[in-house]
Structures are given as C-alpha cells and as structure tokens.
Amino acid sequence: MRKIRMGMVGGGSGAFIGAIHRMAAALDGQIELVCGAFSSSAERSRESGRGLYLPESRCYASYREMFEREAQLPEGERMDFVAIVTPNHLHLPVASMALENGFHVLSDKPATRSLAEALELQDCVARSGCLYGLTHTYTGYPMVKEARARVAAGELGAIRKVVVEYSQGWLADAAAENSKQAAWRLDPEQAGISCCMGDIGVHAANLAEYVCGEIREICADLRAAVPGRRLDDDGTVLLKFDSGARGLLSASQVCTGEENGLRLRVYGEKAGLDWSQMEPNTLWLRSLNQPAQQLRAGVGNLAPETLANLRTPAGHPEGYLEAFANIYRNFAGQIRARITAEPAPEIACDVPGIREAVRGMAFIEGTVSASLSDKKWHPLAAPEPDPHIGRPE
Ligand SMILES: NC(=O)c1ccc[n+]([C@@H]2O[C@H](COP(=O)([O-])OP(=O)(O)OC[C@H]3O[C@@H](n4cnc5c(N)ncnc54)[C@H](O)[C@@H]3O)[C@@H](O)[C@H]2O)c1
C-alpha cells in the first residue's frame, strides 16, 4: 500500500485555513501533498507551491489546469483527492470539476454559496461515484465524540435543552474589514447570503446535530451589528429538534474580546454535558443530585470512538490540529478502502459528507429567511439524499 495523494486548491501564502489543512493531512503520515493550484494568480500559485517544495510541474496556474493535467498522469502518480480551501463561491465549481475528472473531494465549509448550489453539488457527487467529505472540524474532537456516544447511549435520558454558542470578536472593529479573510466573508458575491451564519453559525448547528440529532424548526434574528456591512455579523436562533428538545444557537463575530468561543451544553432528564473548544480535552458531566464529574481525554472509561480518535496519553494536550487530522485520517481510510476494494472501517465513515453539506446550506438560508419573516417558526427542510451518495461502501 502507499500514501494517499492530495492536491489542494486555495491555501496560498497569506491564506488562513490552507496551512492548517496541510498540517492536519500530514499528521498521521498517511497522506502526501503532491500538487496544488494555491491562488487565483498563476504566479502566486507557483510561488506558494515552490515554498512547499513541490515539483515545478505540479504547481499549477489554475485549478482547471490542475484537474486536466492530473487526470492525464499515470494512475500511480496522479492525486487521489483534492482539498478545497478557497472562498465559498469557488467550492462548487472546483468540486464539480474535480468530481467530473474522477477525483474525490474534501471541501471546507460552507459546502457552497447557496442551497441550490449544494443540491447541484449533490447531483455531481452522485454522478461521479466519488467520495465527498466536508471539514466540519469540531466533530473531529475526541470529547465531542464522547458527548455524542453518551447522548446516543441514553445516559442523559431524553434531551430537553441544547445550548450551542460560537462567539468570536475579530469583526467587532470595522478596521478588521481590511484583512483578506474579512473582505470576502463580507462580500455576498464570494461568501453567499450570510457572513456569520455561513462562517461559524453553520459549524455550531452541525456540532449540535452531530451530538443531539436533527434540528427540525428554527426562529432566527440576524443583523449586521457594525453599520455598513452587507451581511450579518451576529445572530441568535431558537431551535426545535426532531427529538422534541428545544435549543438556542448564538453565533457572533462581534463579541468583543472573544477568541473561538465554541461551547455546547446538552441537558437531559438525568444529566447534562458541557464541552468547550477552549478546553477541548475536558467534558463535564452533570448528573441529577451528584457533584459534577470532569471527564478527561484518555482517562477512564471512554467510548471506543473517543479512544480511536485520540493520539497522546492523558494530560498531553490535543487540540484543533488533531481534530482536523482526525477528519483527514478518516477520509484517507475511505479512499484506501476504495483502492483495496474492501469495506471501509467504521472509524473511516465518521466524516461529515454531502448530507451534512446540504443540511448546512439549508440552515444558512433558513436562518436568513426566518430572520426576515414575521412568522415565528420555520421548518428546516433539507431534501434527504440517498445515504450512499459520496460515502464509502
Ligand atoms: N473548517 C474550519 O474551521 C474553517 C476555518 C476557516 C475557514 N474555513 C473555510 O475555508 C475557506 C477558506 O477560508 P480562509 O479563511 O482560509 O480564506 P483565505 O482568504 O485566507 O484563503 C483563501 C485562499 O484561496 C485562494 N484562492 C482564491 N481564488 C482562488 C482560485 N481561483 N484558485 C485557487 N486559489 C484561490 C486565495 O488566494 C487564498 O490563498 C472558506 O470557505 C472558509 O469558510 C473553514
């Protein structure tokens, strides 16, 4: 067997998440970066590729050139999948061209710029027969998997209340708009119809659904707190879950002084759970009439899926890069199973896919339209895809 070969679109010098993806992909020694189209400028793309010591012949001027040329390489050389780390408006065109050329796709979120585009993407994935994964990073944390396992096992009893919060402060100041990252996120042409919900609200919704099951109805209030912005930078959403649980999702980029304050609290009849990404190796379990219990990564009786996604002994902290790396390692497992024509191991299947991609876009569009409406509750309706689309056998 061999390493899984990755190409990258986006992530040139000065970009944010591309470098994180490369570190995550490299962490387990299962994946190698073999090519890229790192920027919209041919020169900057080549320069970025050189900086990563890629051969000149595989630093491409554009993603179109990359897919055409890679598809012509011998099977033993060409990339297996592409990681998409561009602004949102390019996710669909890049993914669809990759899929048409037979390459699997691991895309960053939000999946596309709109729900209509996500449905188009779903058709492309189905037609291609290729694998599709979405980097909802926070589902990669071991103690998030522990929370999901405990909720699924009924340890909390019926879930009554879910509170998920993603608070950032980086857009609190209008001056932040001069950064490369803020400029496209606040531009509807590149970001889509939402900034805050599209950027971080969708992560919070995905995290809540990963642990607690699906959201069925929403009531939303979004706004641009900083005057002059064309897209929201702050929002609050009331949630009704399929299970009957009620909830609250708060996402904001104007919570002055906050870093990446993602926190999930889940309360059932018998117990509650509390996880925060600023302390990701801890999960608090609060049971009825008992002192709070601090569950720690690597200590005691944890779920098999938690242990399978841990790398270091207890007390040697794991964090964001390892959570990202879990998604990469699991996706690589899906590709490896395709190559060897064997069933994918269970751990490899634990990657958000096209279903989560479509639900995420339905959430973003749903919150924007609900916020403009006088009606209180709005169904969060996302068409249910065939569960085999983009998934391992
Ligand atoms: N999963 C996460 O936690 C997470 C975190 C941050 C960003 N994101 C997502 O990742 C994506 C990128 O965000 P970012 O903050 O890194 O943005 P960024 O602006 O820092 O980087 C975008 C990169 O894409 C490149 N690019 C633009 N047009 C291109 C083209 N035509 N061909 C090739 N490359 C092109 C730019 O040159 C730049 O290198 C966004 O969709 C964002 O929502 C996800």
- CA distances for 140 relative to 202, 257, 329, 383, angstroms: 15, 26, 10, 25
- Around ligand 1, the residues with Cβ closer than 6 Å are 9-12, 15-18, 37-40, 63, 85-88, 90, 108-109, 135, 137, 180-181, 184, 199
Position in ligand 1 atom list of the atom nearest CA 48: 39
User: pLDDT tens-digit profile of 147-182?
Assistant: 999 999 999 999 999 999 999 999 999 999 999 999
**pLDDT given at position 280:** 98
Domains of the chain, by residue range, sit at: 4-137, 142-308
User: pLDDT tens-digit profile of 200-214?
Assistant: 999 999 999 999 999
Cβ atoms within 10 Å of 393's Cβ, excluding its own: 10
- Per CATH, 4-137 and 142-308 having the same topology is answered no
Which of the 8 DSSP states describes residue 201? I
Find the angle CA(323)-CA(359)-CA(67) to the nearest 5 degrees: 70
Please, what is the average pLDDT of the chain? 97
Ranges of residues in the chain with a pLDDT under 70 are none
**pLDDT given at position 393:** 86
CB 106 within 8 A of CB 4: no
DSSP 93-108: HHHHHHHHTT-EEEEP
Q: Is 271 helix (H, G, I), strand (E, B) or coil?
A: strand
Superfamily of domain 142-308: Dihydrodipicolinate Reductase; domain 2 (3.30.360.10)
Q: Does residue 383 have a cis bond before it (omega within 30 degrees)?
A: no
* Length of the chain counted residue by residue: 393
User: pLDDT tens-digit profile of 298-317?
Assistant: 999 999 999 999 999 999 99
**pLDDT given at position 364:** 98
d(CA 305, CA 282): 16
d(CA 81, CA 330): 13
CATH architecture group of domain 4-137: 3-Layer(aba) Sandwich (3.40)
Q: Which residues of 309-342 are buried (b: 16+ CB within 10 A; e: fewer)?
A: bbeeeeeeebebebbbbbbbbbbbbbbbbbeeee
Of all protein residues, the one whose alpha carbon is nearest to atom 6 of ligand 1 is 17
Of all protein residues, the one whose alpha carbon is nearest to atom 31 of ligand 1 is 40
Of all protein residues, the one whose alpha carbon is nearest to atom 37 of ligand 1 is 39
Task: Report the predicted TM-score, pTM, of the whole model to 2 decimal places.
Answer: 0.98
Position in ligand 1 atom list of the atom nearest CA 136: 1
